Amino acid sequence: MENNVTKVDFQEPTIYTVETKDAPKAIGPYVQGKVVNGMLYASGQIALDPVSGEMVGETIEDQTYQVLRNVGGLLNAVEADYDQVVKTTCFLKNMSDFTAFNQVYESFFDNEKPSRSCVGVANLPKDALVEVEIVAVVK
């Protein structure tokens, strides 16, 4: 079987930075997201309130809800929605929270499910229980 690979010559890349009040400000040397040639590459979101910058919730359900609201803020900033998310990477502090996390996560991706990785980690910024980063197609 022979591979058919076509080389695509891209024009000068279109790159812009996403900055919105609807998601928490970056807490380190990074930006909320970058759009490159119609794809949003969003930094990982934890359960920070976009206004106060404080952590929201003590349970995996509460934190997951806030994390995905923050993701929604980033999507809204680039006139996109959850159906346009093609890939998520999810980090859980405790893999025993996997089922509870999935119940909240699924409620945000009820039409189009993205591809996904979900891994357990030793720790997350601000002692968060969950972090989610996304890649989405935008206009």
- List active site positions: 118
> Dihedrals φ, ψ of 73, to 5°?
-65, -40
Tell me how far apart the 2 most distant CA atoms of the chain are, in Å: 57
Break the chain down into helix, strand, coil percent, rounded to 5.
25, 25, 45
Burial of 79: CB neighbours in 10 Å, binned 0-12, 13-18, 19+: exposed
Spatial CA neighbour of 82 closest among 130, 129, 17, 135: 135
The distance of Cα 101 from the centroid of its chain, to the nearest Å, equals: 14
